[in-house]
Structure 1
Amino acid sequence: MLEAGTIAPDFTLEDQEGQPVTLSSFRGRPVILYFYPKDNTSGCTTQAQGYTELKPGFDAKDAVVIGISKDSPASHRRFIDKQGLDLILLSDPDHKVNELYDVWKEKSMYGKKYFGTVRSSFLISPEGVILKSGEKVKPKLDPETMLKALDALQDTPGVPGAAGSDGDNA
């Protein structure tokens, strides 16, 4: 998994409308990037609903929340409509971005081994640097954890993207 201090790898994926979205297009704003296994499953729904519920808090910090899974743009659109979500969801069907962020890993269920997405989240500074990362995050707790991390980081002098910071970590 990519650690804090790493430059967030740039990518372009299709959103729920089939439109290309490039991570670097959000430079100048903090980004919460989270990877989840599958649309319309209980944990993934809980996590997405949590981010939607806390969206006013992220908006107040000028942060954008982006979810990524292997599901198609059409699946994302249905997920958003069915659950009343207010998020950007990106489609990574060949899991290349999952691999870039080192969240595509071997998993095991009922003794069967397979590869899949490990639920993970990243707080990315307005300059494109990963400030916080979490692996195997809890769907119910992740949105609040990331909002608190954003609050704490924005209140820390000298941290890139923090209020009053000149971007210099010296």
Structure 2
Amino acid sequence: MPKPTLHAKAPDFTAAVIGGSYQDGDSVTLSKLKGQSVVLYFYPKDDTPGCTKQACALRDGWQSIAKKALVFGVSTDSIKSHAKFIQKHELPFPLITDVDQKIVNAYGVWVEKSMYGKTYKGTERSTFVIDKDGKIAAIFEKVKPDEHLAAVLAVL
């Protein structure tokens, strides 16, 4: 599927979530968060170097970002993997599991990638900032982990 465009209604979803104020077995529905700004950041895999750097930057800038928006990390990893990642790096925000790739497909970030000459499908590192009305306010594609926090804070 193509990526949603700026000012379009953000694709709704309900998915399993853990971390922040969410416990194991909880789910989150995007449309129920209306009235609050939401940062949905998509990342390839828990506990890999780039993904860890990106998550820890959000953790370290948490005081600044938490006042302005809810933050949810989204990957195709399991809740069990997310729980370990959150605990290991003391992440203050929740992570959404998308093992069936419904959310990554709805946001157009499940893409063909290549490494060492092999192609495979995976999550493109991308972030969507959703405004209080549920519309896409900003899109960051192929995000560099070192620049992610500053880019998000600049639009909130």
User: TM-score band (shorter)?
Assistant: over 0.9
What is the match of residue 122 of structure 2? 116
Specify the code of the residue in structure 2 equivalent to 1:144: A
**Equivalent-residue separation in structure 1 for 2:140 and 2:57 (angstroms):** 16
Q: CA deviation at 1:5?
A: 1.1
Q: Gaps (5+ residues) in structure 1?
A: 151-170
Give the CA RMSD over aligned residues: 0.9
2:15 equivalent to 1:13? yes
Structural mapping, 1:22-33, within 5 Å: 22-33=29-40
**For the residues of structure 1 that align with 2:108 and 2:39, how far apart are their CA atoms?**
16
The one-letter code matched in structure 1 to 2:118 is K
Once the two structures are TM-superposed, the CA of residue 55 in structure 1 deviates from its matched residue by: 1.5
Matching residue of 1:95: 101
Counting only pairs closer than 5 Å after superposition, residues 14-163 of structure 1 correspond to structure 2 as 14-16=16-18, 17-61=24-68, 63-150=69-156
Amino acid at match of 1:8: A
The equivalent of 2:21 in structure 1 is none
Deviations 1:40-86 (A, max 9, x none): 0011011111111111112222x100000011111101000001111
Secondary structure class of the residue paired with 2:112: strand
Q: Distance in 2 between matches of 1:68 and 1:19?
A: 15
Give the unaligned 5+ runs of structure 2: 19-23
- 8 A Cα contact 1:70 1:92, kept in partner: yes
Larger radius of gyration between Structure 1 and Structure 2: 1
- State the 1:87 CA deviation: 1.0
Measured in 1, the distance between the counterparts of 2:50 and 2:74 equals 14
Query: In 1, Cα distance between the equivalents of 2:54 and 2:119?
Result: 25
| Alignment-mate amino acid for residue 104 of structure 2 | N
Separation of aligned partners in 2, 1:46 and 1:75? 17
Runs of 4+ in 1 over 2 A off after TM superposition: none
* Corresponding letter in the other structure for 1:51: L
Give how far 1:24 is off.
1.4
Which amino acid letter does the alignment assign opposite residue 18 of structure 1? G
Give 3-state SS (helix, strand or coil) of 2:45's partner: coil
SS in 1 for 2:73: strand
Q: Name the SS for the 2:81 alignment partner.
A: helix
Contact 1:54 1:144 in 2 (8 A): no
CA distance in 2, matches of 1:87, 1:140: 18
Q: Structure 2 length normalisation: TM-score?
A: 0.92
Between the two proteins, what is the percent identity of the paired residues?
46
Structure 1 letter corresponding to 2:39: I
